[in-house]
Structure 1
Amino acid sequence: MNNLESYPPILRHVSHPRHHSPDGGDAIHEEEPDPLPVIDLECLTHDETKTKKAFEEACKHWGLFRLVNHGVPSTLFSQLQHQAKQLFSLSFESKQASCSGSNPVTYFWGTPALTPSGTVLTTAPQNINWVEGFNMPLPHLSQFQSQLPQLHSFRDSVVEYGEHMSRIGRRLFEAMAKNLDLNIEASSSSSYVAENSGIMRIYRYPNCSNSDVGLGMEVHTDSSVVSILSQENEVSGLELLKDHQWLTVKPISNTLIVNLGDMMQAISDDRYKSVTHRVKLNSERERISICYFVFPDEDLQIQSSKYKPFSYKQFRAKVQQDVKTVGYKVGLPRFQHTHDSLN
């Protein structure tokens, strides 16, 4: 099949260059400096002072960092990327049909909010995001049935990968809670990074040589406690906003990118930062990324001096309402004590 035809119809309007440039175009070169803070998970787990300090600085001033020594086998990264490419290369119609009905896996395109898989966008909206993807709620994947063997084999790999992500998410949250003196009992910490809320999203962004066409993913913050991203090697696109400048997040093999979300900012009383980020289209190569999102238990009340008490369930409902009524996510300002007029 023509690769262009594997995309949803609305995404086929993007200009796909036919040839790669000799220097790799937007590919990241190793000699370029990496500005991100780097956190060693093993050292963090062993409570090493230097790593604890670096971790605190990354959470306060960046809201995003590169994670190394995370314990995820490099072979699993390669396997997931290979299987994801096979899955995305299938026809749009087969991908759409595979996630119809009551299946927990959802296929979406054109928006970061999940487009109902039965809805085909036929005209380009003003704020289209040039992306397609699969939303996979980890606790319900065992219920997933599909006639696509590629989706079944990918599901099995995602389950294995999800176990690593859950482990990493718990360790990171426990370290943040300790730095923040939150006094959360070990038995309660699982409510803040609930395994039953874990979601994996797999994204594909088309390559595009026209910088005016728009973004792969619009400027936003995540609603999660933490989000853990695996990027395809040598294909750039993710950018974060730091000190009013956009910085490229380099894809480096066998590393993970961790960013803090809105829930963590509220839990920390604004001491930690929910990072603003976006995805630009790569001019030479399509980009595949895999992201794990972890949220608190839906009804857990988040207490903060900066915000009125709220649960993630209430936060999500307000975000969905705002997207429908004002066209974008407002997020945490809806719950600030000083912004009652927003409600």
Structure 2
Amino acid sequence: MGTELDGYTVHEDNPLGYGSSLPVPSVQEIVRNDANNVPERYIKYLEDRPLSSEKCPVSLDIPIINLSLLTNGDEDERKKLNLACKDWGFFQIINHGADEVLPKMKAAVAAFFELPLCEKKKYAMAANDVQGYGQGYVISDEQKLDWNDLLFLITMPSSFRNMKYWPITIQGFKETLEEYSIELQRVIDEIFSNLSLLMGMEGGFLKELQGFLGLGPHSDCSSITLLLQDDDITALQIKHKEAWIPIKPVPNALVVNIGDVVEAWSNGLYKSIEHRAVTNKKKPRISVATFVIPCDDVELNPLETMVDDNYRPRIYKNDVKYVDYLRHTLARKMDGKATNVQYLKL
């Protein structure tokens, strides 16, 4: 059995054809076996390491957006969203109505990573797929590796799910992920509705261009990304005015960032921002990232409402389909924003 989509059939055991990532050792197992020694392949080159001199000299917090106000059509809150997307590319969402499922989602993900390695390997990424357990963006046996493990699943639409990667032996995992996905879909719809209005389109315009959600884990090759963080670990940093600024977790908030797709659609008005996660010596960190991406054939050209020959001339191409851009990014290691976005520019 399979699902017909854009000219090809998606079967449970077949990948979507976006790319692949090479298998690498589990970071969790490295720590468990010898917590005092980090293999050379995980030690970043000096120029790539976070430096204390890069930290912002003053305390700055990214904007906080009240989703309840946006839902009720509050114009002041929509203006705050507009400024957040232009000046920061990142914001935190509160009063989103999904508070009850957030701790359940964190617990479900933690339960997977607490499994023995032999159990987690049952869900390992295939040689020609990005779904499953492993690490993303590994394209060679020589490149430096990130200090993390991930589980990447496609969750919506349900016809795209490859259930062999879902750890359904964990009690409640599937039900929790479905509940979380449904709640996030509501939040995403509201964000896209407001972004559509801000970009001069009907409220449902951007929603109709989207394809599906991914759960997993530079700038993101998504339309937008939603991140559920640990409440007590500050690890995420964003690059703002040439300084790296830590994003302090707000309890029950969701971090949202603009992806490369919305930057292209907005003709550069809304910015996709480089970000990174730094390690800590105290405890492991778990985060849940939801990547919202367009359908394969959607073009990433700027919307006509965002182009003005006199004041905002077109700076992005007209003929790049999302699937081609995604394959371009997944065929390279995660290495900043410039290379990926340059692929979209004139």
Q: CA deviation at 1:33?
A: 6.5
1:228 aligns with 2:226: yes
Alignment of 1:175-254 (within 5 A): 175-181=194-200, 183-184=201-202, 186=204, 188-194=205-211, 197-201=212-216, 220-254=218-252
Equivalent position of 1:83 in the other structure: 108
Equivalent position of 1:171 in the other structure: 190
TM-score, normalised relative to structure 1 = 0.74
- Relative to structure 1, is the Cα distance of residues 79 and 314 closer, same or farther in structure 2, using a 3 angstrom cutoff? same
- Relative to structure 1, is the Cα distance of residues 57 and 327 closer, same or farther in structure 2, using a 3 angstrom cutoff? closer
- Normalized per residue, the structure richer in helix is 1
Q: CA deviation at 1:108?
A: 1.2
Equivalent position of 1:157 in the other structure: 176
After superposition, the C-alpha distances for 1:188-242 in whole angstroms (9 at most, x for unaligned) are: 4333233xx21111x6xxxxxxxxxxxxxxxx00010100011111012110111
Aligned with 2:137 (options 113, 131, 134) = 113
In 2, distance between residues paired with 1:179 and 1:276?
A: 23
Q: CA deviation at 1:320?
A: 3.1
Residue 173 of structure 2 aligns with an amino acid whose one-letter code is: F
Q: CA deviation at 1:157?
A: 0.7
1:320 aligns with 2:330: yes
- Relative to structure 1, is the Cα distance of residues 286 and 10 closer, same or farther in structure 2, using a 3 angstrom cutoff? closer
Q: Secondary structure at the match of 2:343?
A: helix
In 2, distance between residues paired with 1:231 and 1:289?
A: 5
- Relative to structure 1, is the Cα distance of residues 151 and 275 closer, same or farther in structure 2, using a 3 angstrom cutoff? farther
TM-score, normalised relative to structure 2 = 0.74
Residue 251 of structure 2 aligns with an amino acid whose one-letter code is: S
Q: CA deviation at 1:322?
A: 4.2
After superposition, the C-alpha distances for 1:130-161 in whole angstroms (9 at most, x for unaligned) are: 11011110134765147955546222211110
Counterpart contact for 2:132–2:153, Cα < 8 Å: yes
What is the count of residue pairs matched by the alignment?
288
In 2, distance between residues paired with 1:308 and 1:291?
A: 28
Q: Secondary structure at the match of 1:330?
A: helix
After superposition, the C-alpha distances for 1:169-191 in whole angstroms (9 at most, x for unaligned) are: 1211121121121x2473x4333
Counterpart contact for 1:236–1:287, Cα < 8 Å: no
Aligned with 1:336 (options 317, 321, 345) = 345
In 2, distance between residues paired with 1:147 and 1:97?
A: 10
Counterpart contact for 2:219–2:336, Cα < 8 Å: no
In 2, distance between residues paired with 1:113 and 1:230?
A: 21
Equivalent position of 2:98 in the other structure: 72
Q: CA deviation at 1:247?
A: 0.9
Equivalent position of 1:19 in the other structure: none
Alignment of 1:11-30 (within 5 A): 15=36
Q: Secondary structure at the match of 2:267?
A: coil
In 2, distance between residues paired with 1:327 and 1:278?
A: 9
Q: CA deviation at 1:46?
A: 1.8
The farther-off stretch of 135-144 and 255-264 is 135-144
Gaps of 5+ in 2: 1-25, 38-57, 303-313
Q: CA deviation at 1:306?
A: 1.4
- Relative to structure 1, is the Cα distance of residues 334 and 233 closer, same or farther in structure 2, using a 3 angstrom cutoff? same
In 1, distance between residues paired with 2:134 and 2:238?
A: 24
Aligned with 1:287 (options 285, 288, 304) = 285
Q: Secondary structure at the match of 2:257?
A: strand
In 2, distance between residues paired with 1:276 and 1:67?
A: 19
- Relative to structure 1, is the Cα distance of residues 152 and 315 closer, same or farther in structure 2, using a 3 angstrom cutoff? farther
The CA RMSD measured in Å over matched residues stands at 3.3
1:132 aligns with 2:153: no
Instruction: Give the % identical residues.
Output: 21
1:144 aligns with 2:163: yes
- Relative to structure 1, is the Cα distance of residues 145 and 239 closer, same or farther in structure 2, using a 3 angstrom cutoff? same
